[in-house]
């Protein structure tokens, strides 16, 4: 390791054919005491799940991976990992030569054109509510197959975007070093160093948005994200609100 570089997370990769959900398998490993860096990659899932209780259809041809972390940063910062992982995923796609620029939809979607290429599902546990015992980063990326996603806009794949010969293993190869570097940098300094790179790929900046917050929906203009990765929304009354969670709806994307 050169002076000033972060100590990298060492990945311990387990490759499986068909599983229920890679997040479930990593959770079992976490509860059995596995070290940070254990990563399960499956060729298909029969019980893949997404955010907000959605099904993540997982046919062969795509990348399904879950990574175990044992983060030491404050609990309030953990959600920003979704943004960091989305960013390095977008950069891995670019490194493979994708002719379409990968963009980011807060907090966890990677877009190609008007379609969803990838999603990230964070699941964690804390016994005392102050320190995170384990956190799972689940990643689903549509490499070749385009299952429907129930999010109101279409599915994108690397194959349809101009990379018909790329296999899930190629994407994994581009992703792993970026993931380990990014996660080590986040562990050391949090989200702030990633903010500019994230904003440079952000979809919907300056546009009208809706943010669904359980029972309440906020409408306003998307101003960006703050240093912690929270969404900045300016309401009709001109007040700027910071939102750490919620489901963002971009009307332009939904058509």
d(CA 193, CA 246): 23
CB of 6 or CB of 210, closer to ligand BTN? 210
What is the per-residue binding string for ligand BTN in 77-116, x denoting contact by CB under 6 A? -------------------------------xx-------
Minimum separation from the CB atom of position 64 to ligand BTN (A): 4
Query: Which of residues 51 and 243 has its CB atom nearest to ligand BTN in the complex?
Result: 51
Angle CA(46)–CA(47)–CA(51) in degrees, nearest 5?
140
Q: CA 37, CA 66: separation in Å to the nearest integer?
A: 10
Total residues at the site for ligand BTN (CB under 6 A)?
A: 21
- Compare residues 138 and 182 and give the one whose CB is closer to ligand BTN: 138
113 closest CA partner among 180, 158, 171: 158
Nearer to ligand BTN by C-beta: 90 or 220? 90
Nearest distance in Å: CB 41, ligand BTN? 9
CB of 163: closest distance to ligand BTN in angstroms? 20
| Minimum CB distance to ligand BTN smaller for 66 or for 180 | 66
Q: Between 26 and 185, whose beta carbon lies closer to ligand BTN?
A: 26
- Which residues, 6 or more positions from 169, have their beta carbon under 8 angstroms from its beta carbon? none
Among 50, 86, 182, 190, binds ligand BTN (CB under 6 A): 50
Between 177 and 206, how does the x/- string for binding to ligand BTN read (CB under 6 A)? ------------------------------
At a CB cut-off of 8 Å and minimum separation 6, what does 230 contact? 242, 243, 244
- Return the structure tokens found at 161: 């975007």
Torsion on CA atoms 200, 116, 91, 181, rounded to nearest 10: 110
Neighbour tally for 125: CB within 10 Å: 12
The verdict on 54 binding ligand BTN (CB under 6 A) reads yes
56: left (phi over 0), alpha (psi -120 to 50) or beta: beta
Q: How far apart are CA 91 and CA 191, in angstroms?
A: 16
35: tokens are 């070290």
DSSP 19: E
What x-and-dash track marks residues 124-153 binding ligand BTN by CB under 6 A? --------------xxx-------------
Distance of CA 91 to the CA centre of its chain: 12
Binding span for ligand BTN by CB under 6 A among 58-66, 85-93, 125-133, 169-177: 58-66
The answer to whether 66 and 25 are in contact (CB under 8 A) is yes
- Per CB under 6 A, contacts with ligand BTN among 10-49 are 21-23, 45, 48-49
- Binding site residues, ligand BTN, CB under 6 A: 21-23, 45, 48-51, 54, 56, 64-66, 108-109, 119-121, 138-140
């Amino acid at each position: 390791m050169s002076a000033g570089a972060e100590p990298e997370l060492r990945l311990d990769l387990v490759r499986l054919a068909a599983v229920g959900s890679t997040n479930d398998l990593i959770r079992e490993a976490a509860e059995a005491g596995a070290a940070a860096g254990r990563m399960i990659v499956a060729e298909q899932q029969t019980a893949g799940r997404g955010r907000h209780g959605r099904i993540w259809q997982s046919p062969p041809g795509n990348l399904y991976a879950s990574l175990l972390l044992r983060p030491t940063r404050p609990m309030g910062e953990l959600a920003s990992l979704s943004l960091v992982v989305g960013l390095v995923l977008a950069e891995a796609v670019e490194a493979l030569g994708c002719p379409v620029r990968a963009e980011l939809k807060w907090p966890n979607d990677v877009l190609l054109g008007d379609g969803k290429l990838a999603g990230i599902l964070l699941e964690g546990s804390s016994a005392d509510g102050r320190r995170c015992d384990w956190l799972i980063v689940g990643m689903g990326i549509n490499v070749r197959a385009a299952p429907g996603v129930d999010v109101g806009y279409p599915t994108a794949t690397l194959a349809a975007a101009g990379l018909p010969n790329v296999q899930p293993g190629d994407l994994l190869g581009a992703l792993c070093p970026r993931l380990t570097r990014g996660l080590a940098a986040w562990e050391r300094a949090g989200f702030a160093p990633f903010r500019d790179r994230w904003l440079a790929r952000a979809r919907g900046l300056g546009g009208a948005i809706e943010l669904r917050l359980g029972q309440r929906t906020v409408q306003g203009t998307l101003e960006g994200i703050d240093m912690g990765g929270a969404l900045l929304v300016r309401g009709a009354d001109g007040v700027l609100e910071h939102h750490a969670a919620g489901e963002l709806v971009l009307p332009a994307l939904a058509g």
